[in-house]
Amino acid sequence: MLTLFSKISLAFILIISGLSSFAMENVKPFDLLNGVNVYKNLQEAIKNPDNVYSLDLSKQNLKILPASIKELKNLRYLNLSYNKLTVLPDEICELTNLERFDASNNELVSLPEKIGQLSKLSKLYIFRNKIKHLPASIGNLHELNTLAAYKNQFEEIPPEIQNLSKLEELYLNINKIKKIPNGIYNISSLKILDLSYNDINTLSEKINNLTNLEKLDMCYNTMMSFPSSLSGLKYLKELALYNCNITNFPQDIGDLINLESLNIGYNRIGKLPESIGKLTGLKILDLSMSDIKSLPETMSNLINLKFITLTMNNFENSEKNKIKSTLPKTQIFW
């Protein structure tokens, strides 16, 4: 049983590490450029449609979006968040100059099949809805940089997603996904991939195709192991595999030379490889409840390690003292 202090300490580490599966909350979905006049009433905007570039209809209790939205041909920013929309009109797909679109926090059950016509779209926020599938035309959004679709009801992702050659941030956490489509492994531009809180049991060896990946979050999935090819992700800074039933740990984990935060708590690892001592840039390490009885001596090389969580393991007092002397400048949470 965790003490109150331990619970607070663990929560603190998760927050500062940025590996909380709800880190997407920090994304600002509708960050507009300075100097852009923001309309907040559709009727007023339609009076002068050619000069409307930004429309913010958030938090207006909307249940229906009028088809007249299509008249705003020059619209670049559209915010429909925090309403009660269940569907979007097909006419929204005629806004071909749209660059940022936020339809988060609604009750959407689907997206228009022709959403791929929004060829200039760079940021799409559809999180916290009830969407069950992405249209195949999503693959036509060749300028898309960020896709935030967490907390929906997706069970699978269309293979066309592999065509998003400029995609850098993909948030699909808190869904019902059971299998990662091979297409995702082909998006070499990805820097952030969040698939936490799903039902995924396999991570393919193809993960090393994501050569620019900086953050990978797979927390709370059912996978029993993870591929050795993961060590090929040389730019990876944050790796979260919390509570994934993992029993094996790659011997070459030390090859992740840029890793700063590693969260592998609540697994059944048992023993850490000696190569972990190569992670000299590591700042945060969570090994809570991992069936660990000792740490390798090579961890003395982790001179930048600020926090390590070792709660709910089986350390003898002698081993605890050894760890303290090995990591004299590290704050240790037992």
Place of tokens 């998006």: 187
Residue 7 burial (CB count, 10 A): 12
Place of tokens 């940022």: 100
Q: Which residues contact 234 (CB under 8 A, 6 or more apart)?
A: 211, 255, 256, 257, 258
Distance CA 326, CA 308 (A): 12
Q: Would the pLDDT of 185 be above 50?
A: yes
**pLDDT tens figures, 50-84:** 999 999 999 999 999 999 999 999 999 999 999 99
Cα 90 → chain centroid: 29
Tell me, what's the pLDDT at 146?
A: 98
Distance CA 242, CA 265 (A): 5
pLDDT band at 18 (very low <50, low <70, confident <90, very high): very low
Distances (CA, A) of 289 to 264, 278, 313: 9, 23, 5
Helices and strands, number each (H, E), in the chain: 3, 14
Q: Would the pLDDT of 180 be above 60?
A: yes
Distance CA 173, CA 109 (A): 17
Distances (CA, A) of 280 to 17, 58, 84, 190: 16, 45, 49, 25
Q: Which structure tokens are listed for 87?
A: 């569907």
Which helix (H) or strand (E) segment is 285 a member of? Answer: strand 284-286
Mean pLDDT of the region 316-328? 94
Distances (CA, A) of 125 to 46, 58, 290, 295: 24, 13, 36, 42
In the chain the domains, ranked by start, together with CATH numbers, are 1-21+220-334 (3.80.10.10), 37-195 (3.80.10.10)
Mean pLDDT of the region 124-135? 97
Q: Are 113 and 137 in contact (CB under 8 A)?
A: yes
pTM across the whole model: 0.90
Distance CA 300, CA 268 (A): 23
Tell me, what's the pLDDT at 250?
A: 80
Q: Residue 156 half-sphere exposure, CB side, CA atoms within 13 Å?
A: 8
Tell me, what's the pLDDT at 26?
A: 44
Q: Would the pLDDT of 2 be above 60?
A: no
Q: Would the pLDDT of 227 be above 80?
A: yes
Give residue 26's identity as a one-letter amino acid code: N
Distances (CA, A) of 30 to 55, 99, 270: 11, 11, 44
Distance CA 198, CA 174 (A): 6
Mean pLDDT of the region 238-264? 92
Mean pLDDT of the region 306-310? 96
Mean pLDDT of the region 222-244? 91
Q: Would the pLDDT of 35 be above 70?
A: no
Which helix (H) or strand (E) segment is 139 a member of? Answer: none
Q: Is the dihedral of CA 253, 256, 257, 259 positive or negative?
A: negative
